[in-house]
A and B are shown apart, each in its own frame.
Chain A
């Protein structure tokens, strides 16, 4: 009986997170297409529903009913596994993300996180690093040149940018004296970390763009030279799983930017619940990511590597040094 009392809230929280994450790409694809359209001075999707609001639904139906094509000579088991492997890590990351202070319902207190673990930040970085396996498997199993090249690029890119990304948050951890995300948010009571850690934020943001493989760092799926990169051979529901994973990664990064550098749920105006305030900040970063996509050109491969190793990595080390000097 006691275990049910412990497990039931966990299951409810898990259900809410998974349901929201599965449905979130629907409005996000609509938003992305609309932002693209308005930046390019055209209306975008207008036919299905009011201002194309039902367009994502139509797309989803189209993707789900399409033929599930597996190329000849593909490694069938890995080919089928890859989209799932790509999808799981971004969902697992949400285990460690807190959305607000513990709430009181019927006299008992519930935390707004699945597990407020003391190594939360490290857990998030580690698990989001696993996401690259889906890309590797997809590229390898497809038995296609474009897919292999795309996945090789993405491995090199993910490894290169994981390092500055990890280093850039060390300053934040130093300020908070903890790797627990709630503690990190509490440490920003008064002044947000963006004031103390502008370099850290810059490195984290750029490395995050590269980790999510968004423009200007979307070389693994550069449609101009690689077809579509690692998911060239995928169609139907498996392709939509990859798309889902990409959007969830974007949401994770936006959330992390808000939590680590912009005070999380702190400083909410009195009429807003703190969790909603955090989601508004997240939405802002998602919007910035989309805005970037239609503003910047793609970098060349050698430029990508030199930005990662010769600019971001030294900058993140400098940031640790400066933070250390100021704290001393």
Chain B
């Protein structure tokens, strides 16, 4: 039973992963990635780690992918997605893929620990056990990781604030989606500015938002 489930989930995960790469429309790619993430969450459940599965859905599907879609809808990336990121990058991509494949193969054949990782947990670890591991046994690495994340967050906020100062010129307000680095749009603090609000006291033209903010994708 478990074997069949694994085969089903693994097939769909690989298939949707493939679709992420080949899909023409960035929205379709993102949705295929969502499907892939859900399959991986299901694999976690098969391995007896429901907590990890739920976190996978919470963080990757519920937050990261939603922000991805938000950015894709906001910026009209349809044209950019079709142009090559690096000119004549096919050879480089092939080489990198080859190196990674060889690395995976070597890992699989040499390492004996890897097979232990793939075995399901003897008993489903409880939330209590996980919290004890995080906050008692590995407190320092955990705190370091959270401080690093916090620094990244503060950095993103500072980048977004610089944008806001430049907002003094009226042109910026008219084209909120243009001339921004995609990553900056995703911070929650900038969300209110991006969307055209109809509040009477904001002094911003409410009509110019829709046309520029991705409603027209063709």
User: Counting CB contacts under 8 A, is A37 at the interface?
Assistant: no
The A278-311 residues at the B interface (CB cut-off 8 A) are 300-303, 305, 309
User: Counting CB contacts under 8 A, is A275 at the interface?
Assistant: no
A300 touches B213 (CB 8 A): no
User: Counting CB contacts under 8 A, is B166 at the interface?
Assistant: no
User: Counting CB contacts under 8 A, is A223 at the interface?
Assistant: no
| B interface majority secondary structure | helix
Indicate whether A156 sits within 8 Å of B213 (C-beta atoms), given known contacts A136-B73, A302-B199: no
Indicate whether A117 sits within 8 Å of B50 (C-beta atoms), given known contacts A152-B213, A301-B197: yes
Instruction: Count contacts on B: residues with CB < 8 A to the other chain.
Output: 44
> Closest approach, in angstroms, between the C-beta of A185 and any C-beta of chain B?
17
B54 touches A126 (CB 8 A): yes
**Total residue contacts A-B, CB cutoff 8 A:** 118
List residues of chain A with CB within 8 A of the CB of B196: 149
How far is it, in angstroms, between the C-alpha of A212 and the C-alpha of B61 when the chains are bound? 19
A126 touches B199 (CB 8 A): no
User: Counting CB contacts under 8 A, is A151 at the interface?
Assistant: yes
A144 touches B197 (CB 8 A): no
- Partner of A152 from the list B57, B58, B70, B189 (CB cut-off 8 Å) is B70
The A302-328 residues at the B interface (CB cut-off 8 A) are 302-303, 305, 309
Indicate whether A143 sits within 8 Å of B62 (C-beta atoms), given known contacts A118-B124, A300-B199, A309-B188: no
Instruction: Count contacts on A: residues with CB < 8 A to the other chain.
Output: 43
A148 touches B127 (CB 8 A): no
User: Counting CB contacts under 8 A, is A234 at the interface?
Assistant: no
User: Counting CB contacts under 8 A, is A125 at the interface?
Assistant: yes
User: Counting CB contacts under 8 A, is A187 at the interface?
Assistant: no
User: Counting CB contacts under 8 A, is B217 at the interface?
Assistant: yes
User: Counting CB contacts under 8 A, is B43 at the interface?
Assistant: no
How far is it, in angstroms, between the C-alpha of A305 and the C-alpha of B199 when the chains are bound? 13
A130 touches B197 (CB 8 A): no
A127 touches B34 (CB 8 A): no
How far is it, in angstroms, between the C-alpha of A191 and the C-alpha of B103 when the chains are bound? 58
User: Counting CB contacts under 8 A, is A162 at the interface?
Assistant: yes
Interface string of B192-218 (1 = CB under 8 A from A): 101111110010000001110111111
> Closest approach, in angstroms, between the C-beta of A265 and any C-beta of chain B?
23
How far is it, in angstroms, between the C-alpha of A179 and the C-alpha of B54 when the chains are bound? 12
User: Counting CB contacts under 8 A, is B42 at the interface?
Assistant: no
A130 touches B195 (CB 8 A): no
User: Which residue of chain A lies nearest to B50 when distances are taken between CB atoms in the complex?
Assistant: A119
B58 touches A129 (CB 8 A): yes
> Closest approach, in angstroms, between the C-beta of A11 and any C-beta of chain B?
16
User: Counting CB contacts under 8 A, is A99 at the interface?
Assistant: no
User: Which residue of chain A lies nearest to B57 when distances are taken between CB atoms in the complex?
Assistant: A126
- Partner of B27 from the list A125, A140, A301 (CB cut-off 8 Å) is A140
User: Counting CB contacts under 8 A, is B191 at the interface?
Assistant: yes
Indicate whether A148 sits within 8 Å of B213 (C-beta atoms), given known contacts A179-B127, A225-B198: yes
User: Counting CB contacts under 8 A, is A73 at the interface?
Assistant: yes
A127 touches B57 (CB 8 A): yes
A145 touches B210 (CB 8 A): yes
A129 touches B63 (CB 8 A): yes
> Closest approach, in angstroms, between the C-beta of B137 and any C-beta of chain A?
20
User: Counting CB contacts under 8 A, is B6 at the interface?
Assistant: no
B127 touches A156 (CB 8 A): no
The A215-254 residues at the B interface (CB cut-off 8 A) are 225
How far is it, in angstroms, between the C-alpha of A160 and the C-alpha of B70 when the chains are bound? 13
List 17 other contacts, CB 8 Å, given A129-B63, A148-B215, A152-B213.
A78-B27, A78-B31, A122-B58, A126-B55, A126-B61, A129-B62, A140-B27, A144-B215, A148-B73, A156-B188, A156-B192, A156-B195, A159-B67, A159-B188, A160-B191, A300-B199, A302-B197
| 12 contacting pairs across A/B (C-beta < 8 A) | A126-B55, A130-B62, A132-B66, A137-B31, A139-B73, A148-B213, A148-B214, A149-B209, A153-B195, A179-B127, A225-B198, A309-B189
